[in-house]
Amino acid sequence: MRIRRLYTFFTVSALLAAAGLARAGCASGGITFASQSDVDVANCTFVNGDVVISATAPGNITFNDLKRINGSLIVQGCGDATCSRISGISSTNLTTINGRLQVSSVPSLKTITLPGLQRVDHDLLLQELPELNWVNMTGLKRAGSLKLYSAPKLITAQIGVKGASFDPNIGLKNITGNLTGSADAVVELRNVGLRDLDGILDFWSARRLLIDSLPNLNVQMIKFLNVDEMRVVGNDNLTLRFWESNLNEPNSPGPVINRLVVSNIRSLSPCLQPVVHEFLAFNNSAMEYLYFNFDQLNHIEIRNNPRLKKLVSWAPLNRFWRDIYIHDNPLLSLKRFPGPREPGDNVSETYCRDIAKLRRDQWAWFPNTFDNLVIAADIDNSFFNETFTNLWLNTTSPSETKPKVVDRFEVNSTNKTFDCSALDILRTQKGAFPGRYSCQGQTLPAGIAVPSLEGSMRMALGAAFMAAVLLY
């Protein structure tokens, strides 16, 4: 009798253990759920493979027991409202997806609720979701990339933590690219109804950030740390605001942008000074006043902005400038002091009234060595003469650094009073423009500059160095 009881006990224990192992590991190689009952029967905590949810699964699919997917989580798309029946997916305990999270072409899907999800090692892709109106991924800290396309009803989304935190364990800090290296570390948002991108733009670094056609995004603060290219196509009513690093607080959010390209925006706030190396503004049909305040800026291109009237750099030190291209802005007037502000010229007073009171709108040429300077606009004589030419013609010290354009200097002004004579002297007598030169369509031969004290010293030091090498 005792032996029978022991046999029964061990048999039941073995069955329970086997069931537990099956529950914990689920199907090797992946699993497909076609209904909530499939999820309940499988009762998975870990799946060693892909988890696929059919778009024909009815209602909301909840998988609270599932904690980790060693593969991808995919909601199958069908692209047809008649075949799509799923209304939402949710899990409170899923923390890790070692592959990608892909929800694509699911017309019926309205909600994605994954507040415990912390990492997606490959792409996080949500696209072609016309009814999606809610996303909760507040715990997300890491993704290979984040791509959100064509979700016009998604007005509010909680992705990462709202605001900016210095803590590496808080918020969506890491956009890593795929672990295999086959995908870029990118954040792309296109044709989405979001009113703000707080939480999404809290990352430390990415290769590319794209914000394109977000009709409800009217003001956005940029607080991420590093991005190689940031490209924004606005809704003609978008104002971009930028944070800057705080020298007293290490690792404080201060954007470093290698290339910033903006189109269809209304304005930039110049209140704070992020690092931007290349700045391009074109096809901004609603922009009338452009103030920019970028540190370490070396390439500027402002073109094809049909309503642009005023252009001002607030940067206190623009010594990094190398290339300037300003053309095809039919209403643009360039003066050293642009004059009093019009009623609509209020972006700085709106966002930084105290700073605006201390700044005077002006354009000053610093003694850079430029590569290219190509400008066509309604240019007043003061734009060049009060700083650029005066540094050459009204100073006597040969050692004083003066502005110079090495490769191409081309200026065309629609202002009938614009006078090229001072610039022509810099071309023919001072050697300020040794490369291609054109002022009001006229070219002149380049003159030879008198060697500066700085240049003579460099030549002397170079000769001394070569002599020392030969003697050695």
pLDDT in tens, 399-420: 568 899 999 999 999 999 999 9
Measured CA to CA, the distance from residue 467 to residue 62 in angstroms comes to 80
Q: What is the pLDDT of residues 166-200, one digit of tens each?
A: 666 778 888 888 655 545 899 999 999 999 998 89
Confidence of residue 340 (pLDDT cuts 50, 70, 90): confident
Token pair belonging to 19 = 């069931």
Candidate from 192-206, 395-409, 446-460 with smallest mean pLDDT: 446-460
235 within some domain: no
CA distance 252 to 72: 34
Residue 332 forms part of a structural domain: no
- Say which amino acid occupies 102: Q
CA–CA separation, 446 and 436 (whole Å): 9
Confidence of residue 368 (pLDDT cuts 50, 70, 90): confident
Alpha helices in 122-210 (DSSP H): none
Can you tell me the distance from the alpha carbon of 77 to that of 82, in angstroms, rounded to the nearest whole number? Answer: 12
Q: Per the domain annotation, does 304 fall within a domain?
A: no
pLDDT band for position 28 (cuts 50, 70, 90): confident
**What pLDDT is recorded for position 231?**
98
**pLDDT band, residue 317 (cuts 50/70/90):** low
Q: Does 390 fall in a domain?
A: yes
Q: What is the pLDDT of residue 437?
A: 98
For 235-293, write each residue's pLDDT tens digit: 999 999 988 666 455 555 578 999 999 999 999 998 888 899 999 999 999 999 999 98
Measure the CA–CA gap between 125 and 144, rounded to whole angstroms: 10
Among 157, 181, 205, the domain boundary falls at 181
Strand 289-292 with 59-62, pairing: unpaired
Q: Which residue, chain included where needed, has tokens 């606005």?
A: 234
Provide the pLDDT confidence category of residue 7 given band limits of 50, 70 and 90. Answer: very low
The mean-pLDDT minimum among 4-8, 49-53, 92-96 falls in: 4-8
Does residue 285 form part of some domain?
A: no
Long-range contacts of 128-136 (CB under 8 A, 24+ apart): 128/77, 128/79, 128/104, 129/103, 129/104, 129/154, 131/107, 134/110, 135/111, 135/159, 136/112
- Residue 424 Cα distances to 10, 409, 430, angstroms: 102, 11, 9
Question: Residue 69 — pLDDT band, cuts 50, 70, 90?
Answer: very high
pLDDT computed for residue 318 by the predictor = 59
- Statement: residue 460 has pLDDT above 70: no
DSSP state letter for 405: E
Residue 11's pLDDT is 41
User: Is residue 306 one of the residues assigned to a domain?
Assistant: no
Report residue 325: phi and psi, to 5°: -125, 115
The pLDDT score that the predictor gives to residue 57 is: 92
Tell me: pLDDT of 164 over 80.
no
With respect to residue 462, please indicate whether it lies within any of the assigned structural domains: no
- Of the pLDDT bands very low, low, confident and very high (cuts 50, 70, 90), residue 86 is very high
Would you say 361 and 336 are in contact if contact means Cβ atoms under 8 Å apart?
no
Phi/psi of residue 33, each to 5°? -110, 125
pTM reported for the whole predicted model: 0.86
pLDDT at residue 3 tops 70: no
The pLDDT of residue 2: 47
Q: Which of 128, 155, 181 is the last residue of a domain?
A: 181
pLDDT over 80 at 462, yes or no: no
Alpha helices, H only, 48-112: none
Instruction: Please enumerate, as own/partner, the contacts of 14-18 that have beta carbons within 8 Å and a separation of 24 or more.
Output: none
Separation between Cα atoms, residue 294 and residue 448, nearest integer Å: 34
Query: What pLDDT does 138 receive?
Result: 94
Q: Which residue range is the domain that position 138 belongs to?
A: 23-181
Least confident of 10-19, 159-168, 365-374: 10-19
Phi, psi of 162 (to 5 degrees): -60, 145
pLDDT digit string, tens, across residues 39-57? 999 889 999 999 999 988 9
How does residue 18 score in pLDDT terms, banded at 50, 70 and 90?
very low
Average pLDDT over residues 435-453: 80
Element (H, E) at 123: strand 119-127
Distance CA 164, CA 186 (A): 19
Residue 348 clears pLDDT 90, i.e. is over it: no
User: What pLDDT is stored for residue 457 in this prediction?
Assistant: 36
Is the pLDDT assigned to residue 467 strictly greater than 80? no
Residue 57 in any domain: the answer is yes
Rounded distance between C-alpha atoms, residue 472 and residue 181, angstroms: 50
Among 44-48, 131-135, 325-329, 451-455, the least confident range: 451-455
User: How many folded domains does the chain comprise?
Assistant: 2
* Structure-model confidence comparison of residues 451 and 224, the more confident one: 224
Question: Mean pLDDT of all residues in the chain?
Answer: 85
